[in-house]
Amino acid sequence: MWKASIMALIPLFLLLLPSLAFSQDLGVPLSWRDFSNSRLRAERISIAKDAINSILPQLDTSNAQFHGIGYWQAGNVFSAMANFDHLAGTKTYQTQVTNGLKTAFKLYPISISLGTTTMMPCGGQLQLTTVTGRTRTKAYCQWPLQLGNMSRSSGYNVSVHHLSSPIYQSVISTADASSGKQPKKSFAIAKTCDGESMAGGVFWRPVSTDSSINSITTGLYTTLSAFLAETTKDAKYTNAAILSAQWIQKLQINAKGIVLDGVDGSKCTRSPASWLFTYNSGKYIEGLSVLKDVTGDIIWKALMTNITAAAVKSSAWEGSNGIITEGASPKSNNDGVGFKAIFIRGLDEVSARSGDNSALQILIHSYNDVQYNALLQLAANGTSYSSDWKGPPQAFTTWGQLAALDVMVTAINTNSP
């Protein structure tokens, strides 16, 4: 009897090995700068609101853009606004967000978003149903993939559909991986890379000759699929999320538990090992946090926990004091400014879904408090903030404000009371 029980556990143990290989300490490093927060909830809400209000004069309502930042970064501003309403229990920014979404989805098909250095394409347009009464509009993928919190905010009524859309057509299916062909690509794709199936990977751009597959693309798709699975209870979304989550799990995590950047879907060549960006880990753990709840599978919970712990302690993007240095650019905008905002938002989703792991929640809120206190104490100029979180303060920039918003907003949630 006992032999049968042990044998039954072996497959689960083998599946857990990739997660256990880089098991992480959940303790808060004592070298981190000022990792506690005594501000009451009302003050934290006020600080976050002031930060959002300081960027709103940059909004051009005619095109849903913010002067000084790019299109995909603007989507993150709207996401922070919606998340504020979700966490603060208000409808303060409902009008700006819903009107912004309507405008963006009307004006910006994917065709005008490709080939620029400031965009992060992830497979194409989506078919999207957003505000009540508006159906089947198309949007550049970064926007609808930022909408997880909007769907839970009072009055936003957001839902996203993807399996019949071009982004789904950019995924490598199990059949595609077996055949070495992908319907939207004009070249032979690799069936395996490093001995692992390429099924679940998502091509970066919906161009027939582009062979790039990256973690942010696949992580975004994992997250979207997991949210849809949670909302609809439809197994096709669960299966889509699992397949893409497995692609990153097997191919894109280094020995330290950090999510790597990209792979060529034809040649299996990799991006440089030094290309380590916060948002790759941040978006993946966000997707895993939802997927573990959808499936109840300990594999995804363990993987989420270990990658989170590795990411918040990574020297790739922070000093020993814990302050994130990625995207620090006082004089000009860059993509890294927005990367760390996505990272912070992903950590918040993990925290919100980890009520059974107080050590992990403490680690996350301590990490956010490091960033929060650095912004307020070292990088603040009134209610505006530098993109260099270790300071010094500077005059307002839209990109600096963008980077700070998610820190300010998630502080409402990760601290108590």
In the chain, which residues have pLDDT < 70? Answer: 1-23, 108-168
SS3 332: coil
- The Cα 49–Cα 31 span in angstroms is 30
Closest listed residue to residue 246, CA positions, set 11, 24, 18, 9: 18
Q: What is the pLDDT of residue 164?
A: 40
* Residues 363, 365, 371: CA angle, nearest 5 degrees: 105
Token pair of 201 as six digits: 């990977």
Q: What is the pLDDT of residue 10?
A: 42
Q: Which domains does the chain have, with CATH numbers?
A: 16-414 (1.50.10.20)
- The Cα 111–Cα 109 span in angstroms is 5
Q: What is the pLDDT of residue 150?
A: 47
* Residues 323, 302, 352: CA angle, nearest 5 degrees: 60
- pTM (predicted TM-score): 0.86
Token pair of 150 as six digits: 């909007």
- The Cα 34–Cα 391 span in angstroms is 15
Q: What is the pLDDT of residue 155?
A: 52
Scored b (16 or more CB within 10 A) or e, 204-237 reads bbbbeebbbbbbbbbbbbbbbbbbbbbbeeeeeb
Q: What is the pLDDT of residue 335?
A: 86
- The Cα 289–Cα 408 span in angstroms is 21
Q: What is the pLDDT of residue 227?
A: 85
Count of CA atoms in the C-beta half-sphere (13 A) of 44: 24
Q: What is the pLDDT of residue 106?
A: 78
Helices (H), 252-397: 278-295, 298-312, 335-352, 358-378
Q: What is the pLDDT of residue 22?
A: 58
Token pair of 84 as six digits: 């504020």
Say if residues 381 and 395 touch (Cβ distance below 8 Å).
yes
